């Protein structure tokens, strides 16, 4: 099998989502990152690319999982269909992946209201960076969705 690498096409020039998904398995991180970037851009208008990013949250490489979480966060509310997968990613073994998932959830705006419970639980994560990011995500959500403020505050008071 020939991988997409230095001699192959740049990920952003690949003609289909399937090729970008295959590029996530390349041995070069720069190729993987390029594929994630291209998938992020396509995900704004192509459901298959959004689905590919969501599935990449389960990739064997923590760097791809973390990059997929960042890409989904950059999409904001467009990434709403990925909420269940992002919540599941809060259990990832790697703290950087959990951190990326928390940040992504904090960027989803009103579509993230169903994630309040998961974000409150993330405030008890074993990593201080994840806990801090969960607090920031909850604050952001409370600012964007005034109707969620009471729920968030009650949850924080229980901690």
For residues 115 and 84, give the distance between their C-alpha atoms in angstroms, rounded to a whole number.
Answer: 9
Give the mean pLDDT of 144-155. 86
Q: Are 89 and 69 in contact (CB under 8 A)?
A: yes
Mean pLDDT value across the chain? 89
Residue 14 is predicted with a pLDDT of 53
Domain locations along the chain: 11-158
pLDDT tens figures, 35-53: 999 999 999 999 999 999 9
pLDDT tens figures, 7-25: 344 544 556 899 999 999 9
Residue 146 is predicted with a pLDDT of 86
The number of CA neighbours under 13 Å toward the Cβ of 21 is 16
Is 92 in a helix, a strand, or coil? Answer: coil
Give the alpha-carbon dihedral of 82, 112, 140, 158, to 10 degrees. Answer: -120
Q: What is the CATH number of domain 11-158?
A: 1.25.10.10
For residues 107 and 155, give the distance between their C-alpha atoms in angstroms, rounded to a whole number.
Answer: 20
pLDDT tens figures, 86-106: 999 999 999 999 999 999 999
């Amino acid at each position: 099998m020939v991988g997409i690498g230095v001699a192959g096409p740049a990920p952003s020039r690949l003609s289909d989502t399937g090729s970008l998904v295959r590029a996530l398995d390349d041995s070069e991180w720069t190729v993987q990152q390029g594929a994630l970037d291209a998938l992020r851009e396509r995900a704004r208008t192509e459901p298959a690319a959004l689905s590919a990013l969501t599935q990449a949250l389960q990739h064997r490489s923590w760097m791809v999982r973390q990059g997929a979480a960042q890409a989904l966060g950059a999409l904001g509310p467009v990434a709403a269909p990925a909420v269940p997968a992002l919540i599941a990613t809060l259990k990832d073994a790697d703290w950087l992946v959990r951190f990326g998932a928390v940040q992504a959830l904090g960027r989803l705006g009103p579509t993230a209201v169903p994630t309040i419970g998961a974000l409150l639980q993330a405030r008890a994560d074993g990593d201080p960076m994840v806990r801090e990011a969960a607090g920031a995500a909850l604050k952001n959500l409370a600012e964007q969705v005034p109707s969620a403020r009471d729920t968030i505050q009650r949850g924080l008071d229980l901690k």
